[in-house]
């Protein structure tokens, strides 16, 4: 059976809860259509997150990679269109603060996601789950992870679906700070729907 790497993150910055962490715990080992899910949590750390992802990609003979992240403030599921070669933003969980430097020296300025974005949006809408393509994954660790994954498939000329999906806050997080939010079960259902599209 084909293996799909699904990644999430732990809590970071002023977000005490990260809904992607629970999704990863819940879906690890599950089979969704033609994929077996290998789900892993990445550290919110510029120096380590990408390396760890690459290690999984080298080790696991994957046929698909979907990285998940929290986009606090967004109100819909947003598959990202592009990752860009730039680290910028506030301090990560390791205390490192980037200042606009490149992620990979000599890497392209940007790499498009290789996920079937329009198919994903359509599938989510059929499930009555709001979704649209996002044109920026930011310049924080989410973008960093997405860039690493796409650089890797580019470098090794792999043609597998690889990309990043930003999720809204969960209701549990929104109890702690006012944010648009979905129930955790809606978020998990969205991720399952997205994974299903890869088998169609």
Q: Tell whether residue 106 is a contact of its own copies (CB under 8 A).
A: no
Q: According to CB under 8 A, which one of 110, 158, 192, 196 is a site residue for its own copies?
A: 110
Q: Is 86 a catalytic residue?
A: no
In whole angstroms, give the CA distance from residue 56 to residue 165.
18
Q: How many CB atoms lie within 10 A of CB 200?
A: 9
Q: According to CB under 8 A, which one of 88, 93, 119, 160 is a site residue for its own copies?
A: 88
In whole angstroms, give the CA distance from residue 19 to residue 176.
13
User: Which of 62/117 has CB closer to its own copies?
Assistant: 117
User: Which of 43/116 has CB closer to its own copies?
Assistant: 116
DSSP, collapsed to helix, strand or coil, labels residue 117 as helix
Q: According to CB under 8 A, which one of 49, 86, 120, 191 is a site residue for its own copies?
A: 86
In whole angstroms, give the CA distance from residue 186 to residue 75.
12
User: Which of 43/130 has CB closer to its own copies?
Assistant: 130
Q: Enter the tokens of residue 64.
A: 């698909």
Residues 6 or more apart whose CB falls under 8 angstroms from that of 108 comprise 85, 154
Q: Tell whether residue 109 is a contact of its own copies (CB under 8 A).
A: yes
User: Which of 35/46 has CB closer to its own copies?
Assistant: 46
To the nearest 10 degrees (0 to 180), the angle between helices 19-27 and 184-197 is 60
Q: Tell whether residue 103 is a contact of its own copies (CB under 8 A).
A: no
User: Which of 105/178 has CB closer to its own copies?
Assistant: 178
Binding region for its own copies (CB under 8 A) out of 23-31, 35-43, 49-57, 74-82? 74-82
Q: Tell whether residue 139 is a contact of its own copies (CB under 8 A).
A: yes
Q: Tell whether residue 47 is a contact of its own copies (CB under 8 A).
A: no
- DSSP string computed for 164-185: EEEEPEEHHHHTTS---EE-HH
Q: Tell whether residue 23 is a contact of its own copies (CB under 8 A).
A: no
Q: Enter the tokens of residue 40.
A: 């892993």
Binding region for its own copies (CB under 8 A) out of 27-35, 40-48, 77-85, 156-164? 77-85
In whole angstroms, give the CA distance from residue 110 to residue 150.
9
State the catalytic residues: 80, 142
């Amino acid at each position: 059976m084909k293996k799909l790497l699904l990644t999430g993150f732990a809590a970071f910055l002023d977000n005490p809860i990260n809904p992607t962490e629970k999704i990863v715990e819940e879906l690890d080992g599950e089979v969704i259509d033609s994929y077996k899910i290998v789900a892993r949590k990445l550290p919110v750390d510029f120096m380590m997150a990408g390396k760890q992802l690459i290690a999984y990609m080298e080790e696991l003979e994957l046929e698909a990679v979907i990285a998940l992240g929290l986009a606090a403030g967004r109100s819909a599921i947003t598959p990202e269109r592009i990752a860009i070669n730039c680290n910028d933003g506030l301090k990560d969980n390791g205390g490192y603060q980037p200042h606009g430097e490149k992620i990979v020296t000599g890497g392209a300025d940007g790499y498009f996601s290789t996920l079937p974005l329009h198919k994903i949006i359509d599938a989510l809408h059929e499930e009555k789950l709001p979704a649209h393509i996002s044109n920026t994954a930011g310049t924080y660790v989410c973008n960093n992870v997405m860039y690493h994954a796409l650089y890797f498939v580019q470098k090794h000329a792999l043609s597998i679906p690889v990309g990043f999906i930003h999720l809204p806050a969960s209701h549990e997080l929104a109890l702690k700070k006012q944010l648009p939010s979905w129930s955790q079960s809606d978020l998990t259902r969205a991720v399952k729907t997205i994974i299903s599209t890869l088998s169609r």
